[in-house]
Each structure stands twice: as structure tokens, then as C-alpha cells.
Structure 1
Amino acid sequence: MLTEHDETSENPAETPVVVLVNLGTPDSPHPRDIRRFLREFLSDRRVIEMHPLMWKPILECMILPLRPHRIAANYRSIWTPEGSPLMAQSIAQTKALTTSLSSKARVALAMRYGQPSLESVLDELYSQGHRRVLLIPTYPQYAASTTATVTDALSHYLLSRRDQLEVRTIRSFPTEPAYIEALARSIEDTWAERGRPNFAAGDRLIASFHSIPQKMHDQGDPYRSECVATVEALRARLDLSNDELLVTFQSVFGHAEWLGPATIDTVENLARQGSGRLDVICPGFMADCLETVDEIAQLNRETFLEAGGSEFNYIPWGNASRGAIETLEALARRGLAGWVD
């Protein structure tokens, strides 16, 4: 998806394009579309580090026949007239960043899995004469299963081109000042509306990140250290202690050991230990999606209240908020340096 832009005075070869890349989403909440999406996603060897001869029978015979039906209701519960929240909010981000950058560059949106695919977006840019691309995977913390698979797809595309694109990429931005400020402002806005948590009485703020298998971490993936770096910067900005702002990990899949502590276990334990209020922010998700709207704002909220908690606040920070767009603009301007004034 490429935003509208006045091309009357531009030379496409000299006009850079910022390509925002998110994970992707099924086309609809129907099991058929969920199955198609999961097949592409779970066939990526960066995501499932198992030999295809072992993994494909599990995927095709056990996961794809069952899981799409099991999670279809979850997708239906978050679906909007504009489609999935992730797609709707990513489109809104693309349009807002176009406005922020003005005539400096064009902005396009691609998805790593599903549509619009990165390949189709790069094809469109190439056919229009564009040769300068700044790729921004919208994952603040680097992981091989997210950021690296985007650059894998980029490399695969470039292999097919004799006339190469000039490409720059943003690797990650766990402590980008605009990003930390966006997180902090969203938290402060919630506290201005609902009051500051009573930390002395056991209230807590949780930063929940998508987990990855422990094996990936043990083999050198820097993801956990970048999550911790984000939280340390956020603690400093908000003047909070380690006990007041906790780090947890969510969205565990399968039976292997994953990074912890698990968000849902922490939420339940805190309620049973007497915490009356939890505020939860998901710094790793720049656009709301199933993992935030369903898993955190619904499932974890229900878990906390059923275990004895009184108040649970999911704090959105990304989407097309001012802070999120300022973050993307800061990354874009840094990446575009030398291409534009």
C-alpha cells in the first residue's frame, strides 16, 4: 500500500520511500483466511526453528486443521468495520507519517505475512521508478523471528533484481528517545485520567512483551536484553523502581520453554497476593492486534479480576497516536539523512 503523493515535480529515482513493515493479519476472521495466514507465518524457519521434514507434518496435520477454528472467535471479537485492528491502525500510521514527512519522502505499508506483501510493495515502487527505500520494521526490539525475517524477505527480493534498489534499514529502536517519551506520555495520560497507582499498597505497572522460545535466547538472540533496555529507560523517565514497573512476557505458543515470567501468571499471582490495581502497557506492539486487544485487554483483565483484583487498565500507546507518529518520524528522518535535507 502506497500513500497518495503529488508526483508532478518529483524524480522517482531520487525520491525515497519509507516502507513500514508489520507482521501481518488474516484477511478476515474466517477460519479459511486464518489458516492461510498461519500456514505462511508458521512455515517461516525464523519463526519455527525446526527442520521442515519434522515440522511440516505437525503444522499440516495437527495445527492447521484445528487452531484456525479455535481462534476464529478471538479474531471476531476484535474485528472492526475497517478490518483487523493491526491493519486499520497500520494504515492510519502510514497516512499520518506521510503528513508528518510532507514532501520529503513517500510512505508505504507492507506486511511480512499476508497482504500487502513486502514483495508486492517493492515491485510497485520499482515499477514506478523508485530506487531509494528506507525499510522500518515496526518492532522496537530486535528478534530474529521478527526483524530478521523482514530483512530475509528483502534479501530474497533483491536476488531477483539486476538493477538493485538502494536500501537502508532501521534495525531496532529500544531506547529511541521519542519512543520512550511516547510510552511515558501514554502512561501519564492514563494516570491523569484514573489516578496514579498506589504502589505502596501493591498496585503495579507491567510492561508486557511478546515472548520468544528460551532456546532462541540461549543461542544469542538479543531480544530480551533490548526489552530490558526499554523498561530501564522507561523506569528512569517515570522515576519508578524495579518492583513498581515489572517486565513480563506473553503469547506463548506450543510446549517448549519460553522467556518468562509469563504475563498471565504474573497477573494472577499479583491479584492473589493482594494487588488491587494493574496497569499494563505492551511496548513491543506499535499497532493494536490480537495479542493486545484480546489477550491483554480481555483475557488478562478477566484473569486479574477473577483472582481478586479490582482494577485493570490496558494502556494503548501506539497506533496513530501522536507519540507513535513522532517515533516513526524520528526514525524516518534519521534513516533518510543524506537523501533529503
Structure 2
Amino acid sequence: MNKTGVLLINLGTPDSPSVSDVRSYLSQFLNDPRVIDIPWLARKVLVNLIIVPFRAPKSAKIYQKLWTENGSPLLYYSEEAKRLLQQELPQDYQVHLAMRYKNPSIPDVLETMRKKNYSRIIILPMFPQYASASTGSALEEVMRVMKSWWVIPEVKMISQYYNHPTFIDAFVARGKQYTISDYDHVLFSYHGLPERQVDKVYDSGLCSDHDCEQEITHENKFCYKATCYATTRLLAEKLNIPADKYTVCFQSRLDQKWLKPFSDEVVRECGRKGMKKLLVFSPAFTADCLETVIEIGDEYQEIFHEHGGEKVQLVESLNDHPLWIRCLKDLVLAN
């Protein structure tokens, strides 16, 4: 019987919130040349001698705040998505889950899939907007592992789905849990990237040479900045949010040469302007994680309050929402 294997891939999480496990996770994550795209030696010195030793103990304390009785929210909700998707697919499909960093690892899960002798394998990273540091890295790791297989079946890789109707509908449904008119402003906060990484998308010119805030073209269709703005336009239209009532911004920066505007600075400025209530979507994340629960839910709340604001309300990630599971099903069956 011809069977199809489906591999969902999310970014990853430490095995526990202990300092040693967080250190191991950060080391694997930040040593990825697609994440920190600088020369090898400079990356090794920066990551292994500076960032990881100083950041691991601080990050472990944050992960301890994030951890629940189900463990890591990102891993828990990714596993739930796998389980629920399996229930929705025909019997000749089998769903697997891997993390780009740590466990369950891509090499281990692919070895299990290899032994299943699937006729076809569909690779589906859980990142709606393509970025080399997320989708690109996950797909590269899959290719690295599979290139050693003696038998390589038909393989389909899904690079992005930032504008998929059901993906948009799922975030719209999350947003409609709140009365948007009650909020002074809406933020669409995406994970940041170094500007040089979006510049590398283009064979000629820079990201700033293209109208990425306004349109998707043949040239910028894989530009992370352009697809973030495109996702936002679709969500704002469906939620009837006027252009002057929302801001696209980028969080989790490491330095000033990352995509702007920076989310924390936008939150700070909203407080200074006298706004009292902010609603924040984070549509680059399909499962709640440190960047949503802690960075937006806790840290931005603190910033906003310090500058006169009252409430930063995080819109939940898609997690196990039925429309998100339907989106995954649609993507699989269409490919």
C-alpha cells in the first residue's frame, strides 16, 4: 500500500528549564550558520564564549516561568497539532513531529520515517512566513539527513503559507475573542531578523529598494518582511482594523541592525502617547512560546505600564485551534 509520511517541524525548545539544558539548546540554535550568518570563527567565539555562557543562566530563569505542568508550551502544542492532524487525515497518511533544535530531533524522526518505507514524504515547517533562519534551516537539515539515504522517495517541501485562507481565518478567530474596538491600538509583532538576512533574498539591490510594506511581487515573494506585512494586511482587512489603528513591528532583536520598527519601542511610544490598552498579535508563531507568553505577555506589559499604559493583551497563538488543524490538513492534502 502506498503511504505518505508527513513531517511537521517546529523550532525547538530546551528539554527542561535547567541551566544545562538551556545552555545545550542555545548552543545548538545559535551555532546554526543560518541563524547567525557571520564567518565560522567569529560565530564560534561570539556564541560559545560570549552569548551562551552569559545568557544561559538568565534564559533558564525565564524558561522556568514559561514551563507548565505540560512542559514546554511550544512542544506541547506542536504535539497536539500532530495528534489532531493525524485524526483529520486519511488512513494512508502518518504524521510525525520534529524540532529543528533539540528533541525530538530531525535526524531521529527521519530515521523512523525512513524505516516506514513511505512512497511519499511531505515536509511542513510550522513557520508561516519563509525565513532562512527558520524554514530555510529546517529544510536544509532535512536535506542533509536525507541525502545519505539509499532510497529517497518523492519529497514535497512546503516553504511558506503566510496568505493561506485558513491560516488567516485561524488568527482572525483568535482575534475575535477580543472586542478590538476596546483597544487603543493593535500591534502585529513578528520575530525580528537582521536586515542583512532579508537583503540576501534579492539577486540585486536591497530589501529597502522594494515596496515590501505595500505589496508582494515576483521579487519579494520570499522576503520575510514583505510576507509579514502581507499577512498583516489580510488580517487587518478581515478584522476591520483601519490602517491608522495598527502597527507592524518586530521583536526579539539582538542589535540595532534588525528589522524595524522594534516592538518594545512601539509599546513604549504607545504608552507615552497616552494609550491605555494594546492588543498584540504575533502571527509568525503558530504555538505559544517564550517570545509570546513571556516577551509580549510579561515584558511588554511591564514596559507599557512604566510609560503610562495599563494593559497589553496578547492574542493567543494558533496552538490547537480547529482552524489551524484544518489549515495543516489543507496544506498536506494539496501537496
TM-score where L is the length of structure 1: 0.89
Instruction: Pick from 141, 144, 154 the counterpart of residue 156 of structure 1.
Output: 144
2:225 maps to which residue? 224
How far off its partner does 1:258 sit? 0.3
Whether the 8 Å contact between 1:317 and 1:323 is mirrored in structure 2 is no
Moved more, 19-28 or 240-249: 240-249
1:277 maps to which residue? 277
Amino acid at match of 2:15: D
Moved more, 119-128 or 279-288: 119-128
Amino acid at match of 2:237: A
Matched, 1:235 2:236: yes
Three-state SS of the structure 2 residue aligned to 1:324 is helix
Unaligned stretches of 5+ in structure 2? 202-221
How far off its partner does 1:323 sit? 2.2
How far off its partner does 1:211 sit? 0.4
Counterparts of 2:189 and 2:45, CA distance in 1: 32
2:104 maps to which residue? 116
Amino acid at match of 1:24: G
Matched, 1:57 2:45: yes
1:4 maps to which residue? none
Partner deviation per Cα, 1:196-249 (whole Å, 9 max, x = no partner): 3246xxx01111100000111223260000001101111221222222121110
Alignment of 1:89-238 (within 5 A): 89-191=77-179, 196-198=180-182, 203-220=184-201, 222-238=223-239
Partner deviation per Cα, 1:237-267 (whole Å, 9 max, x = no partner): 12222221211100112x3510011111101
Three-state SS of the structure 1 residue aligned to 2:16 is coil
Instruction: Pick from 18, 37, 41 the counterpart of residue 25 of structure 2.
Output: 37
How far off its partner does 1:22 sit? 0.3
1:249 maps to which residue? 250
TM-score where L is the length of structure 2: 0.91
Partner deviation per Cα, 1:32-67 (whole Å, 9 max, x = no partner): 011111111111111111111122122221122111
RMSD value, Cα: 1.3
Unaligned stretches of 5+ in structure 1? 1-10, 336-341
- Number of equivalenced pairs: 315
Three-state SS of the structure 1 residue aligned to 2:141 is helix
Three-state SS of the structure 1 residue aligned to 2:178 is helix
How far off its partner does 1:157 sit? 1.1
Whether the 8 Å contact between 1:182 and 1:317 is mirrored in structure 2 is no
Whether the 8 Å contact between 1:140 and 1:172 is mirrored in structure 2 is yes
Alignment of 1:288-327 (within 5 A): 288-327=288-327
Amino acid at match of 1:208: S
Three-state SS of the structure 2 residue aligned to 1:27 is coil
Q: Percent identity?
A: 33
Three-state SS of the structure 2 residue aligned to 1:66 is helix
Amino acid at match of 2:333: R
